[in-house]
Structure 1
Amino acid sequence: MNDWFSRLFAGAYVGRRVLVTGHTGFKGSWLVLWLQAMGARVCGLSLPAEGSHSHMRALDLPIEEALVDLNHAGAVREAVQRFEPEIVFHLAAQSLVRKGYREPAGTFQTNVIGLVHLLEAVRAMPSVRAVVNATTDKCYENLDNGRAYVETDALGGHDPYSASKACAELVSASYRASFLGAAASGRPVALATARAGNVIGGGDWSEDRIVPDLVRAALNQGATTVRYPHAVRPWQHVLEPLSGYLLLAQRLLQEGEIHAQSWNFGPSSCAHLTVLQLIDRFAQHWPAVRHRVDPSPQPHEAHLLHLDCRKAREQLGWHPVWNADTMLARTAQWYRAYHEAGRIASHHDLQQYVADAQRAGLAWART
């Protein structure tokens, strides 16, 4: 444990038993790194990491874990009972839009029924006090009208992935009202949902994501095929929403159900970029990056996604830390260090992010 890190978030995570589902994935592995740096006792529940590259394997962090499928209710319940967590961060999901088109039944099964299995295990576990369910900005009914979405906007989802995450929001609200809240339970559990933007950063090797695709093509001296060049997304470094999740869970622990709501965590407007703008600026930090546009018809994806994060700013005091240039520079430098020198820059990036948050005067970063 880093003594400096242990004082982050008012020391709320020191010695806490924290369960992270999806810990072998991109976001989950970064969250485990941060939690362990703060002195939390982290437990992981996930499928094994896929592919030849894995951020979690590269970090080689000591962690209790259960490599089980969310769709196996008994295994999930047994793992939660064994870990006895106080806080649960639910990040496990089928998180790819195009895979959702290929495997709609599996996407709904994991993202909806898998969540039900986890919440059933949570309501049977007396130790749990707070749950943060990470959904997505794609859970909104996207009208492509240019307006940033607020938490009270209608849920929707054209494609199976987006619809499954809208369903996950409804499941969370139902369990909060029916089983976990003070009105329905003698042992209230504060459950909140967190809707983040398009996340990038080192250690992501997923299929059909623009930055991993750019990296793979650059390493093979090829060009990335771009399917939606003019789509606008709220791009943010992976540490940005994670700071929001951690701050939200801290407030759930300290203040309970008042914050058991849905929350947007997105970047400032300067990071709302088209896919082509993102590629061009990423290439400034890695000249080997090249692309070509695929003119053939593609499955539907929303053209424009913006998040309004005033609620998180005003009620939680959360603000993004890195602008678009810093986010892209850090991400490109991470992959170049890993693939060209075999170096993992994650610890350094985390330290720099926290230091920049302190310089910006963010309350969660005060030590």
Structure 2
Amino acid sequence: MENMDLRPLFGGSYTDLRVLVTGHTGFKGSWLCLWLQQMGAQITGLALPADTTPSHWGLLQLDGVRNLEVDLRDSAALRAAIDAEQPHMVFHLAAQPLVRRSYRDPVGTFATNVTGLVNLFEAVRGCASVRALVNATTDKVYLDQTTEDGYHEQHPLGGHDPYSTSKACAELVSECYRKSFFSGVGQSQPRVATARAGNVIGGGDWSEDRLVPDLVRSAMAGAPLRVRNPHAVRPWQHVLEPLSGYLRLGQALLAGERAEGPWNFGPATDATMPVAGLVARMRELWPGVRDEPCNDSHPHEAATLRLDCGKAARELGWHPVWNATQTVERTIGWYRAFHEGNTVLSHSDLSAYVADARAAKLDWATSP
């Protein structure tokens, strides 16, 4: 299955396309580069070095990906890099992505997630080659309020912690630049959209203060993890789910479809579950996973978070592929293979995901 030809995916939009991925050394960014490489894109990654050891980016060892170490806060270096690379498509994933770190470093979080985005847009404004830009934000951009059906794209933005607030600001910055500088200015101007997704799991994530990496580390250490907020409800999804949404959205923007603005990408309904439910599913697959209550005080987190992804289904034909069982099995299978046999299953996971998408007859996977 690993020899599957992925170049026809998304209508062949990415074959030979010059693509810039910011944040390529991170969890989602490294998976996105793997997928783009398999589709024949010409990839430039722009980011700081990976901040975990090991890192998924380092393990993949992707040939042909140009690696640029550039800080988003350095506007001159960022502009020079984009001018030199002349990308057609930009996927912006670089960020300070951790809630608890944002409490420790709010200034750095806002500088990267807001000012860094402004610097990127200014660089893109001066680069005539860019045709489309997808800015990946988060499902945490919404004002925390009770909603039975999940947040849809027109719900008010908000934010309690510095990370969530910085990403809500990033949504406003994106809309500002889209309306002020890009929309209606001319066909040469890039089309801009934002993609809201979160609670992403899958192999290769070793970030601090994230549930699955913390559980994996505790399992390897033979000690229980003290779990915060076991009753908090989250829309868990495999990392390949939102990435398929980003790629479908990029395809639509490149084709001139009416796809600008914000989009939600979330999992199937049965994958939205409490933290305790996810831990229990992981424990079934890896008995070494153990947890215990944590009674320490901790920063605010929303009690319930669900997304309404009806817009993506209706207008992009996008649907999640893997249910909760498949998501957790693939995630735990990846970590166990790595820790017990030093095997990296990322290529086979991607092939399996695409095969299941084709079996489900999703347009992006089956179109010629």
Q: TM-score, normalised by structure 2?
A: 0.97
- Map 1:119-130 onto structure 2 (within 5 A): 119-130=121-132
Q: Secondary structure at the match of 1:65?
A: strand
In structure 1, the partner of 2:197 is: 196
AA at the equivalent of 2:328 = L
Note if contact 1:197-1:307 (Cα within 8 Å) is conserved in structure 2.
Answer: no
Note if contact 1:142-1:156 (Cα within 8 Å) is conserved in structure 2.
Answer: yes
In structure 2, the partner of 1:341 is: 341
| Alpha-carbon shift at residue 298 of structure 1 (Å) | 1.5
| Alpha-carbon shift at residue 188 of structure 1 (Å) | 2.0
| Alpha-carbon shift at residue 292 of structure 1 (Å) | 1.0
Q: Secondary structure at the match of 1:354?
A: helix
In structure 2, the partner of 1:151 is: 153
Partners of 1:141 and 1:249 lie apart in 2 by 27
Note if contact 2:128-2:189 (Cα within 8 Å) is conserved in structure 1.
Answer: no
| Alpha-carbon shift at residue 11 of structure 1 (Å) | 0.5
In structure 2, the partner of 1:108 is: 110
Note if contact 2:4-2:351 (Cα within 8 Å) is conserved in structure 1.
Answer: no
Q: Secondary structure at the match of 2:285?
A: coil
In structure 2, the partner of 1:142 is: 144
In structure 2, the partner of 1:354 is: 354
| Alpha-carbon shift at residue 326 of structure 1 (Å) | 0.3
| Alpha-carbon shift at residue 210 of structure 1 (Å) | 0.2
Q: CA RMSD for the aligned pairs?
A: 1.2
AA at the equivalent of 1:248 = L
| Alpha-carbon shift at residue 3 of structure 1 (Å) | 6.8
Note if contact 2:89-2:131 (Cα within 8 Å) is conserved in structure 1.
Answer: yes
Note if contact 2:73-2:116 (Cα within 8 Å) is conserved in structure 1.
Answer: yes
Partners of 1:335 and 1:19 lie apart in 2 by 28
In structure 1, the partner of 2:34 is: 33
Q: 1:92 aligned to 2:91? A: no
- Map 1:197-236 onto structure 2 (within 5 A): 197-236=198-237
- Map 1:1-367 onto structure 2 (within 5 A): 4-62=5-63, 63-182=65-184, 184-185=185-186, 187-256=188-257, 258-366=258-366, 367=368
Q: Deviations over 1:260-314 (max 9, x none)?
A: 1100000111011110100000111111000111112211110000000000000
| Unmatched segments (≥5 aa) in structure 1 | none
Note if contact 1:146-1:304 (Cα within 8 Å) is conserved in structure 2.
Answer: no
Partners of 1:18 and 1:46 lie apart in 2 by 14
Partners of 1:52 and 1:13 lie apart in 2 by 30
Q: Secondary structure at the match of 1:193?
A: strand
AA at the equivalent of 2:97 = S
| Alpha-carbon shift at residue 2 of structure 1 (Å) | 6.3
Seen in structure 2, the aligned counterparts of structure 1 residues 33 and 244 have a Cα distance that, compared at 3 Å, is: same
Note if contact 1:232-1:275 (Cα within 8 Å) is conserved in structure 2.
Answer: yes
| Alpha-carbon shift at residue 331 of structure 1 (Å) | 0.2
AA at the equivalent of 2:13 = A
AA at the equivalent of 2:113 = N
Q: Secondary structure at the match of 1:303?
A: coil
Partners of 1:253 and 1:235 lie apart in 2 by 29
Q: Deviations over 1:32-57 (max 9, x none)?
A: 00000000001000000112211010
AA at the equivalent of 2:91 = F
Partners of 1:2 and 1:319 lie apart in 2 by 25
| Alpha-carbon shift at residue 185 of structure 1 (Å) | 4.6
Note if contact 1:95-1:161 (Cα within 8 Å) is conserved in structure 2.
Answer: yes
Q: Deviations over 1:334-354 (max 9, x none)?
A: 000011100000000000000
Note if contact 1:330-1:349 (Cα within 8 Å) is conserved in structure 2.
Answer: yes
Partners of 2:326 and 2:4 lie apart in 1 by 26
| Alpha-carbon shift at residue 146 of structure 1 (Å) | 3.4
Note if contact 1:88-1:131 (Cα within 8 Å) is conserved in structure 2.
Answer: yes
Identity, % of aligned positions? 57
Partners of 2:231 and 2:170 lie apart in 1 by 29
AA at the equivalent of 2:150 = A
Note if contact 2:130-2:189 (Cα within 8 Å) is conserved in structure 1.
Answer: no
